[in-house]
Structure 1
């Protein structure tokens, strides 16, 4: 809930509380007057009408926020009912200016203008009604008219004050709401600025990382190529007719290191190059399902036997971007094999089509002679799970009973 909603909710609670207290005080103050005039009339019928009209007119004010039109009708009816009485609307007259205040405060401009005109006309009529009621002797026409005009002026002054109070309160509330809305907009703008600052900082860090890692990978490539060429020159029979199949394992490993470093450098530039806003960067396609055979080939060049099987024609069934996730899952699994189980006799990579999913299964057999695995923080497995969760898929990994290690992922097809 934002600041504007909190402020409006608090204002609503305060408004209801103030309304209840004000109406209760008005009822208490006018109850004795109503009883006095009602009982002084002598007749039980009019006394009952006085009490009922007072009770209905004033009690309905409790609901003027939720049922304003109904409350207005009840107040007007109660006032009209008591006109024939000797003392009309003695205890309930104050409900009229309260409703004028309410209509002016909460309703549209045509309603406000109509309320003011109707209230002035009702004041003139009310002046003559009150003059007839309170001039108990036989006044002259001049006395009656002066009294009626005075009463009408007082009534008009009361409803005019109520009208201006309501209009003033409406203007203050409108300004308050405008200030709250402006404050909400400023807060939203500040949040956007903070978010943009975070994105800029991330972009700066990514650019720095790109420059540092690119330099390191370039050094690796240069060293691997240089060592390979130097070793090739020293090998007997390394002329132009030498076959790649007769190449020693050490030279093949150096070639694989160079090729893997080049591939990593290219992928990193593809991912992070778009962050460079100050220079044009050519964005190349990210690896996808059809690039998995290249991963298999690179792993085999490291001396790890891999048996690979896949399916075709499933790309259009996958969610957008899932191709990259499948590639990264296979890449991470094969990287873990090379790090933690380099002597495995066989790795099987199977990509198959299930009923509603594409299944990726990577299993490596236990190596015959245990070796010291490279240290790891398991971030790769966590990254795999996060990628699979993006597409509402499932990921299971762990060691099997025979010592093999299995990674099994399922990516749902697009419905």
Structure 2
């Protein structure tokens, strides 16, 4: 039999801070304050969260986890204190390392529901930066059809070339760099990455290279400057226009061409090498076999392919991205382990010769992209708006933490198309500088 005091406690409405404390496991490592005047956590903590209004509560309550937090943060309803919005890494690090949540009891859920009221628990429209959920994207075509892939690429890459110039820096390279040292500059690390790919592929003047998903043409121009004939293909119109102009401006039209094209529409064959840098994440795990069969069909005997992409640390995980990444960053993006990639390459008859994990290098790359965003914050906000700029800061800082904590990895896999006598036409030992 419950006492009067217990009944009163059960029917008392909780403050926002008390609700957080009900869900949190142990000490809250951040300062937290809410619009109802309540607070929780360590008052002297260097970092904090401020929930500014009821709309933010609705976002958090109706989409628990990273998606709800992203909605509240991007809309300006949740503020992170002690960090710049272009690089909220430290808040995310503290939350990831020191804040955990327990499974609430039915009694707790009932108290929270009564405290918030049904009005705050009714879903509302998300911020305009959010893409449609997967089930509603069917209007754009089946997942990984040409039409739907084009729309997904448009969502992420056609933000603004000017914005990317601010964030990526002069290299305009939106893939993991290869740092010769921890304190190397971003530009030197990106140049080093292209050198590494070039040397692994064994390219030389007069060779032919197909660069699939070429972005703003960094690899295309690196190879063309060294006398290699290159075709680059990208599904982003803005990337293609920027990259082709750069080819013209550098006087490389004799060697390089960048096409606004689905890679599946490239008809030329007999290439000495194919580079695929940051594309596999977009094509769908179920399409790997067809993709690597396509790559193989483009190579001459003895030709090489270098696949560079983000991976999972194992081969068992569901390939789909989490709610925030899928709805705000890479719609329809999928990741799997490097073992699955190697298997698919081998199963179409490509011989894998080398693979390596550049996980720590991507964390450093994201660190430097966030630094660029912070340094150019006002210009970036003027270019794309505060909401989109905050999406990028959140995404890049969170991704940095993911690479540091081995949630994701970055693998380069080098393979060769054997000739009819099974000769790989490669040296006995690795021929590139590490």
TM-score range, shorter chain: under 0.3
Structure with a larger share of its residues in strand: 2
TM-score (norm 1): 0.20
What TM-score do the two structures reach when normalised by structure 2? Answer: 0.20
Asked which structure has the greater CA Rg, the reply is: 1
| More helix by percentage | 1
Q: Which has the bigger relative contact order, CA under 8 A and spacing at least 6?
A: 2
